[in-house]
Structure formats: structure tokens, C-alpha cells
Amino acid sequence: MCGIAGQWGAVDEPKVRDMLRTIAHRGPDAEGVHVSPGHGVIGSRRLAIMDPEHGHQPLYSEDRSRVLVANGEIYNYPSLRRELSGRHALATGSDSEIIIHLHEDLGDAATARLDGMFGFALVAGPRLLLARDPLGIKPLYYGFETKGDGRRVLHFASELKALADASFPIRALSPGSTLDSDGVSHTFYKVPLHKPEDRDPLEWARRVREALAASVERHLMSDVPVGVFLSGGLDSSIVAALARRYVTQLHTFSVGFEGSQDLEAARRVAAHLGTIHHERILTVDDLITVMPEVVRQMEHFAPELVTHAIPTWHAAKLAREHVKVVLVGEGADELFGGYGYFKRYLRAGKTDLLWRELHRCTATLHANNLQRVDRMTMAHGLEARVPFLDTALVDLAMRIPISAKFHMDASGADWTEKWVLRLACDGLLPDEILWRPKAAFGHGSGVVERAEVLLDAYGAHGLGAEAARRYPHWRIATDEEAMYHRVLIEAYGDNPVFLNNCDRWILDILRSDPKRTVKPRRRLWQRIRRWVGDRIRR
């Protein structure tokens, strides 16, 4: 795991080293830079996970015609290594080195062979290739600068911070795509939208169990200790239970206010699994003191991201005291139908629209929850892995019909969400955990309920109306949102590099209603429900 940065089309090594220092938190173990005379500079900040002693970046091909800096993990590295070892002399035990040799054999088509999470930059002669993993688990931003003499210079980095002084448009590289220094792009993966297949739910459950177990095993690949974020909810508990089968001394990590749902449930799961469990009891001061840094690292001001990022921040800080890698449960809600608003589609009989909504949520994870997880963990030099977003499991989940993901309960009054996932993991966990209702991380930890405390501490009551007048184009909807927006501007200025990359997934919902309120949560979800209702009626 690393942070990468560079430019192609100009040679400015001091500039690239400045960029790397800005994202040094992503890779505290080492810095490496490659200068290609007349072409450009690429660099890496390394968090040593695989082959810590010899896997220093940049990595080179045998004839040094190809050079790589990469952020992420390639989970099919063992099989690819066996395939390539007869044709190439591998110099390290780093999984990233496989990318170079695969590219020697297959060219840009090599990206489609990689099973993992990654953002990388690869030099091949005078050309630079950028690539991002299929689901966008790892970030990568880029922009083209046109010089006075007409030259186009490609700039790139793992985080927007490293590109903060850009005077040209910066955008995120799309998941499952490549881009070269000539501006040629290619998409090698899209989240599939299969036609649902009619199978017995128990057959689906068996296949989900097999695919998920295989994914967790692959995601445990590491030369350093691995742990699990354990909220006590279904998704993280499943990941912990499966990981425990392969790790004798598994560390688990939980945070929350005293008496919160997450802490109590996590304790029960940890005791059941026999993990080495660590927890952090949060206080109000823990919210107040870290919020500005959370916003700065998040590079975003959407309330639903920032508020949930605060407990993630504390969990990452706790975990980094013991491990360098954690597995997380993100992706399960989108694949298997875990959000409460999904049931509105069921009540309206719009299963076809719900099917597409699950697909949309999965395909846009890179712009919300995955960004939260990446920024909060990497801020502490911690690598987070997402077993639910293994492409084989995604492909399987996208074939499972809505009838297997939601099951009407015995009373006939409500649906059980993620039903097939619960069936798949029967016997792994106590029933009170396996059938525990969904609680979002921020709610389960008790953070969301204390959002009003932040408004008091930062004098943000009434800020929403002021921000609406001052920044009408943002249509800021709540005092809470205005508070985070103000903090982002205080950190980076009114900078389009950041503000133009705040994804509109939640802000677009808010823009549909011009009303303003100082009650950040209740009115927010009222608007979301109205937006969903409008989609269903259409």
C-alpha cells in the first residue's frame, strides 16, 4: 500500500517530492522517485506490506524499460507469479512487481488480469499509463496542464492534497479504467448488470458462502499482521468469523460511546470468535477535537460521509497501534440490499427499479464509502481491504434476484434485508448477531446522535442559511453541512480542486428541496425518502 504522485511531459523532481511529502501519511516507511530524462517524474510513498525488506518502489522490469509505482494489493499474485516466473526474472516478493511483467507480455490488457485493489502509474518508454481497480477501492486523481509552448503535462496523485495548487481541472480516474499520457482512455471493467437468475435461495446461499470465504482468504495475503474492523454488525462480523478460520491470533477493533450498540455487539462477537479484541470508548471531546482533521483528510463536506468518518478515524488510529492491515465490511449493503430505504421500492412493487438501484449504489461506492475508508485508514498509515468487493463475489451478487435478498417475515409486515447473506453465514455467528437489524456505523457507535454537539462547539447554529446566501451554487441544506463546508474551505481555501470533486450523490438529493433547517439528521433523511419516492413513482 502506498501513495503515488508524479507528472509526465515535464521534469520537475522537486515538485514531485513536494507532492509526495503532502501524502507521506499514506506511506510512512519509505520514499522513492524515478526520473525519466526528457519525459517526467514518478514517485511513491511506501507502506510496506508485501516483502517489506525488498519491495521498495519504484519497481523495474529486467531491462529497466518499464517502471512502476503502485498503491494497493494484487490478490491473485501467487498464481500470476507462477505463470510469469518461467518467462521473467522476478527480483522481489512484492505483489506489485507482477504488474510490470504482465504488462511486458500483454500490454495495457494486463490490467484486466489483475484481481485486487490498485491505483498505479507505469512507464513504458516515452509513455505513461495510469490505471485504477475495478471498483475504485483505491483512489487516483489526474489532470492535464497545457503549457505556453503547447505541451500537455499529465499530473497525478493518490489524493487531491498533492494537486492542490493545480490551475487546471482535476478529476478522479474512473474505476476499472486506464488513461495514458496521450489522453487515451480505456474501460476494462464495469459493474455487471446481469439478468437475475431463478435458483433456490439455499443454492444461492451456498454459492455466496463459498465465494465470500475464498475472498476473505485471498484478502488475508500479507507479510505483516492483519486485523478486522468489528462493529458488531452483520457485515464486519461475517468478515471476522471467516478470517478467524485462517488467523490464529486475529485482532479486532471497535469504537463507540459507552453503552452504544456497536461496542456491546462487538464484544459478543469477539468473545464468540476468540479474537484479541481492542476497543476505544469515545467521548464528546473525541468528536470535537478530530472533526477538522477528519474533514481535511476526507477532502469532502457531505454530512453522511464526515459523521461516519469520525468513528472510522478513531478505529484506524486504534488498529494502527497493533496491525498494518485491516479487513472491513464495506460493500455488503450495496450488493445484498442492506439500506432501509430499499424497502420503499418493495412496498411500491418496483423490484426492477430496486435491482437497478443496487447496481447504482455498488458502481458509485468509490465516490462515498470507499473514499471514507481509504482516507481515514491511510491517514494513519493503515491499509484497509474490502473482501465483499472481490469481483467474483460482485458478479455472483449481481445475479441473485431481489426475492433472495429480501424475505418477507412471518408477520407479513416487513422484509428481512440481506436474507441470502444471512442464510449463507448460518452457524458462523450467534443468532442475535446474524439477524441483528442494520445500524449504520455512525449510528451504531453513537456518533450521529451527538452531531448537535459539534454544532455547539463550532458555533455553527444558523450557519446553513448564511452559507446558502454566500455559496448559492452549492445549495447547502443544513447547519451541519455548512459547518463541514466551512472547515474544508478553511483547510484548502475556496479551491475548485477539492470542491469540484465533492461527489454529488447526497448533495443532489438535498438540492431537490430548497428548505433549510438546523436539524441536520431528521430533515436530511426526510429529503432522501422523498427523493426515493419520486424515483419509484417515475
The verdict on 60 and 115 lying in the same domain is: yes
Instruction: Supply 133's cell numbers.
Output: 481497480
The verdict on 210 and 175 lying in the same domain is: no
CA dist 477 and 489 (Å) reads 17
Q: What percent of the chain has pLDDT over 90?
A: 80
pLDDT reading at 283 higher than 90? yes
CA dist 431 and 532 (Å) reads 32
Per-residue pLDDT reduced to its tens digit, 517-533: 334 444 555 555 555 55
**Residue 157, SS3?**
strand
Domain around 419: 201-537
Question: Which residues on adjacent β-strands are paired with residue 118?
Answer: 72
Instruction: Supply 200's cell numbers.
Output: 433456490
The verdict on 234 and 151 lying in the same domain is: no
Q: Please tell me the predicted confidence (pLDDT) of residue 465.
A: 92
504: left (phi over 0), alpha (psi -120 to 50) or beta: alpha
CATH code of the domain containing 36: 3.60.20.10
The verdict on 239 and 378 lying in the same domain is: yes
192 in a domain, yes or no? no
The verdict on 376 and 499 lying in the same domain is: yes
The verdict on 381 and 239 lying in the same domain is: yes
The verdict on 362 and 399 lying in the same domain is: yes
User: What is the Cα 199 distance to its own chain's centre?
Assistant: 31
Per-residue pLDDT reduced to its tens digit, 33-57: 999 999 999 999 998 887 777 789 9
The verdict on 130 and 221 lying in the same domain is: no
Instruction: Supply 420's cell numbers.
Output: 441470502
User: What is the Cα 217 distance to its own chain's centre?
Assistant: 20
149 in a domain, yes or no? yes
- Active-site option among 2, 361, 425, 502: 2
The verdict on 172 and 209 lying in the same domain is: no
CA dist 431 and 100 (Å) reads 47
| DSSP letter string, 338-403 | --TTHHHHHHTT-HHHHHHHHHHHHHTGGGTHHHHHHHHHHTTT-EEE-GGG-HHHHHHHTTS-HH
CA dist 349 and 215 (Å) reads 33
Beta strands in 48-157 (DSSP E): 59-60, 66-74, 116-124, 127-132, 141-146, 152-157
The verdict on 413 and 265 lying in the same domain is: yes
Q: Which residue has the higher pLDDT, 504 or 289?
A: 289
Per-residue pLDDT reduced to its tens digit, 389-437: 999 999 999 999 999 999 988 777 789 999 999 999 999 999 999 987 7
Per-residue pLDDT reduced to its tens digit, 357-401: 999 999 999 999 999 999 999 999 999 999 999 999 999 999 999
Q: Taking each helix axis from N to C terminus, what angle separates 520-537 and 351-363, rounded to the nearest 10 degrees?
A: 130
CATH code of the domain containing 241: 3.40.50.620
Per-residue DSSP letter, 517: B
Q: Please tell me the predicted confidence (pLDDT) of residue 452.
A: 86
Tallying the residues shown for the chain, one arrives at 538
> Which of the listed ranges 115-124, 408-417, 457-466, 471-480 does the model predict with the highest average pLDDT?
115-124
| Count of domains observed in the chain | 2
182 in a domain, yes or no? yes
Q: Check: CB of residue 465 under 8 Å from CB of residue 516.
A: yes
The verdict on 139 and 66 lying in the same domain is: yes
193 in a domain, yes or no? no
Query: Does 2 qualify as catalytic in the annotation?
Result: yes
CA dist 180 and 190 (Å) reads 19
196 in a domain, yes or no? no
List phi, psi (to 5°) of 388: -65, -20
List phi, psi (to 5°) of 321: -75, -15
6 in a domain, yes or no? yes
195 in a domain, yes or no? no
> Which of the listed ranges 140-154, 473-487, 504-518 does the model predict with the highest average pLDDT?
140-154
Q: Dihedral through CA 264, CA 265, CA 267, CA 268, nearest 10? A: 120
The verdict on 167 and 228 lying in the same domain is: no
Last residue of a domain, one of 134, 161, 187: 187
pLDDT reading at 289 higher than 90? yes
